[in-house]
Structure 1
Amino acid sequence: MARWSESEIGSAASPGGGGGGGGYPGERFDLPATGTGSAAGFGRRLGALTIDWLLCYLIAGIFSGPDALASPNFSWLVMAVWFVLTAVAVAAFGITPGMAALGLRVASLRSTLVGVPRAVLRTALLALVLPALARDGDGRGWHDRAASTIVVRTRG
């Protein structure tokens, strides 16, 4: 499996900052403007998250049995499944099933892999929703900024 390295994301990456000065998203990280390796748009990211949530509903439903939706704790089970699936997949592979389906990947700005602590932080902030909606000029939410990551396209 290919790994993202600093040279693939650009050497001008800074963990903080607020986006480029009139350029395209990802320009300050030396990402291409379009195609493979460019910063992912909000629509694809939302689509990937939706696929992941639907998958987690299915997994939680399998564990809960036929009356899963009637259970008052079912939504918490779905959240727990989503949290584990997302944190483990991003830490180990930099990708979730939804991201794989839509051609996206979480790339670390600091090292080759995102790693467990930053993946857990990123996932916890993403679960709060608002950090993901507050985006900078590069399309990175607070969860990506806190974890020093950026979501990029793996297909053109």
Structure 2
Amino acid sequence: MARWTGEWLPGTGTGGQTAPKWPGEAFGLPESGVGSVAGFGSRLLGLVVDLVVAGLITTLFVRYDLQDVAAMQTFNWWAGVVWAVITTVPVTFFGFTAGMAATGIRVARLDGGSMVGPWRAIVRMVLTIVIVPALVRNADGRSWLDRVTGTVVIRMR
């Protein structure tokens, strides 16, 4: 999968080459099926599932009261912490979160490494919090999260 594109930030454009026929073509990924670049919808659904799971886990340990603003702020803060943990740890070791597994996608390194690793997982999580980098995508269907960390989100099934 690894390929040098001759850009200042790998994956940010075509590097003077012609536009790819499908997302991931420049990296040798298939047009469809297993190993192809995951679409925006499955990535978004995976994120929503992870947020719901984080909220459910948080309800086991933190008081949830819609009438108490302070309690809700505390709950939301802890839900964010739980989301960060359930996002970073599994991606570091396995390449996917519970939400990604449910939607059939995972994070893969472009350099062919087997594990995403902690620094890539942490950077992806932090940039996801900012939101905008996750929405800006290039012709290969890769967001800023992917381009900064040298990864791509692919289909598992």
Check whether TM > 0.5.
yes
What's the CA shift for 1:91? 0.3
Does the Cα contact within 8 Å between 2:106 and 2:155 map onto a contact in 1?
A: yes
Structure 1 residues 13 and 32 mapped into 2: Cα distance closer, same or farther (>3 Å)? farther
RMSD: 1.7
Does the Cα contact within 8 Å between 1:39 and 1:152 map onto a contact in 2?
A: yes
Q: How does 1:77-88 map to 2 (within 5 A)?
A: 77-88=78-89
Provide structure 1 residue ranges, at least 5 long, that are not aligned to the other structure: 1-9
The normalised TM-score by structure 1 is: 0.87
1:18 to 10, 13, 24: 13
Equivalent pairs counted in the alignment come to: 146
Does the Cα contact within 8 Å between 2:3 and 2:110 map onto a contact in 1?
A: no
What's the CA shift for 1:51? 0.5
Q: Structure 1 residue 121 and structure 2 residue 119: aligned?
A: no
Does the Cα contact within 8 Å between 1:121 and 1:143 map onto a contact in 2?
A: yes
What's the CA shift for 1:16? 3.6
- Misfit runs of 4+, over 4 Å: none
Alpha-carbon separation, structure 2, partners of 1:102 and 1:69: 34
2:34 maps to what in 1?
36
2:55 maps to what in 1?
57
Does the Cα contact within 8 Å between 1:13 and 1:28 map onto a contact in 2?
A: no
Alpha-carbon separation, structure 1, partners of 2:109 and 2:2: 12
Does the Cα contact within 8 Å between 2:133 and 2:145 map onto a contact in 1?
A: yes
